[in-house]
Amino acid sequence: MGVEIIEVKSKKQLNRFIRFPQDLYKDDKNYVSELNLSVKWMLGKKNPFLQHSEIILFMAKLDTKIVGRIAAIYNQSHLNHHNDNTGFFGFYDSINNVDVARTLFKSASGWLKNKGLVKMLGPTNLTTNDSCGFLLDGFEYPAYVQMPYNYQYYNDLCVKCGFQNAMDLYAYAFDGKVVVEKYKNIYNRALLKMKENGISIRPVSSNFFEEDIAKFRVVYNKTNENNWGFIPFNETEVLAMAKQLREVTPLDFALLVVKENEVIGYILAAPDINQALIHIRNGKLFPLGFLKFLWFKRKINRARVMILGVLNEYSKLGIDLVLYHKITAQLKKHGIYGGEASYVMESNVMINVLKKIGGQQYKKYRMYSKDIIDAF
């Protein structure tokens, strides 16, 4: 028998869709399962993304066994911003079988084609503001929080199915001690320039949390609007993301750059909770997973710098370097002395700043694209 495609419709099928990668990676020591509850929320009606966009889920079956999965994603925000008739695929996992891969990609692209789209880009889970790209280099290292991890052959399957390289993304390892100590003189000069311009840095406020997040959203969208693949956050989406991060991230890991009470820049880091989640192999938080999480959460000693941005008119003041200096100082207060900055697009000028502070590129990810009219 050939590969059979199953559209996910029932609760039982959704649970199987979510659990599939846990079975696929059960012998891989670096694999970290997402929590089942988190994935269900992301794929469910409560996710504000799905208030304006659509997804469909498929599984591949071969000889009575589930051997792959994929999501096709119709992202209305992307289409509104880019007007390029591009759809997305995500949540891709499969055995190393080109027929399985081709059938999954064909199913996803067929659904997108019926919606009038002409190109498919991915992987994104669900958007470029989330986990995206296939890991291409750095398989010996575990994934950080909200970063992808996959088998090398996923990239081979994409190439065999006719996908082209769309964009490479990087992760840079950094040592907090180097950031703080190596550039003290430059840091002090930048601080002086900021003071002369009435600019300060503070954490997100607990008392005015939603107000700060609203200000952050405006600046985030402005600082990223010209970046490849950018999708603007709406108010509901950014607040949902912020509330989720707040559950595991101290507020002093989110710093805002302020001038006359207006936010002009930001940096956000998150403790690498994957150091705890790696011990919950089945993705179940209850009943025992929660206890494991609490136990291993105490031992987290690394963080991921997720985003950094400064409005263009203030970009020559050295604020980006000050932000890295400040965030590493905050991490140190929580017993964290290093981690990674990710992801950084190959076209992002922030790469130069990361190199200045001693960042070492140690992982590489790739986004793939393919014209839907081309046959699989």
3-state SS, the chain, equals CCCEEEECCCHHHHHHHHHHHHHHCCCCCCCCCCCHHHHHHHHCCCCHHHHCCEEEEEEEEECCEEEEEEEEEECHHHHHHHCCCEEEEEEEEECCCHHHHHHHHHHHHHHHHHCCCCEEEECEECCCCCEECEEEECCCCCCCCCCCCCCCHHHHHHHHCCCEEEEEEEEEEEEHHHHHHHCHHHHHHHHHHHHHCCEEEEECCCCCHHHHHHHHHHHHHHHHCCCCCCCCCCHHHHHHHHHHHHCCCCHHHEEEEEECCEEEEEEEEEECCHHHHCCCCCCCCCCHHHHHHHHHHCCCCCEEEEEEEECHHHCCCCHHHHHHHHHHHHHHHCCCCEEEEEEEECCCCHHHHHHHCCCEEEEEEEEEEEECCCCC
pLDDT in tens, 53-104: 999 999 999 999 999 999 999 999 999 999 999 999 999 999 999 999 999 9
- Summarised one tens digit per residue, pLDDT across range 230-279 is 999 999 999 999 999 999 999 999 999 999 999 999 999 999 999 999 99
pLDDT at 355: 79
Q: Is the pLDDT of residue 188 over 80?
A: yes
Look at residue 183 and tell me whether its pLDDT is greater than 60.
yes
* CA dist 189 → 175, 186, 256, 312 (Å): 22, 5, 20, 19
Query: What percent of the chain stands above pLDDT 70?
Result: 97
Least confident of 163-167, 253-257, 342-346: 342-346
- CA angle (327 as vertex; 322, 333 as ends), nearest 5: 135
Q: Kindly report which listed range (157-171, 186-200, 281-295) carries the lowest average pLDDT score.
A: 281-295
d(C-alpha 339, C-alpha 270), whole Å: 10
Residue 182, pLDDT score: 62
Assign 142 a pLDDT band (cuts: 50, 70, 90).
confident
State residue 22's pLDDT score: 97
Q: Output the pLDDT for position 185.
A: 79
- pLDDT in the model for residue 31: 95
Domains of the chain by residue range: 4-169+366-371, 174-364
Say if residues 269 and 339 touch (Cβ distance below 8 Å): yes
Q: Tell me, which fold does domain 174-364 have in CATH?
A: Aminopeptidase (3.40.630)
Question: What is 4-169+366-371's CATH number?
Answer: 3.40.630.30
What's the average model confidence in pLDDT over 137-160? 96
Mean pLDDT, rounded, of the chain: 93
**332 token code pair:** 């140190």
- Is the pLDDT at 187 greater than 90? The verdict is no
Summarised one tens digit per residue, pLDDT across range 295-328 is 988 999 999 999 999 999 999 999 998 999 899 9
- 178, pLDDT greater than 70: no
- The whole model's pTM is what? 0.94
| Residue (of 43, 19, 44) closest to 33 by Cα position | 19
Distance CA 295, CA 272 (A): 14
Model confidence at 354, in pLDDT bands (50, 70, 90)? confident
pLDDT for residue 346 is more than 90: no
Angstrom CA distances, 326 to 168, 267, 278, stand at 28, 9, 29
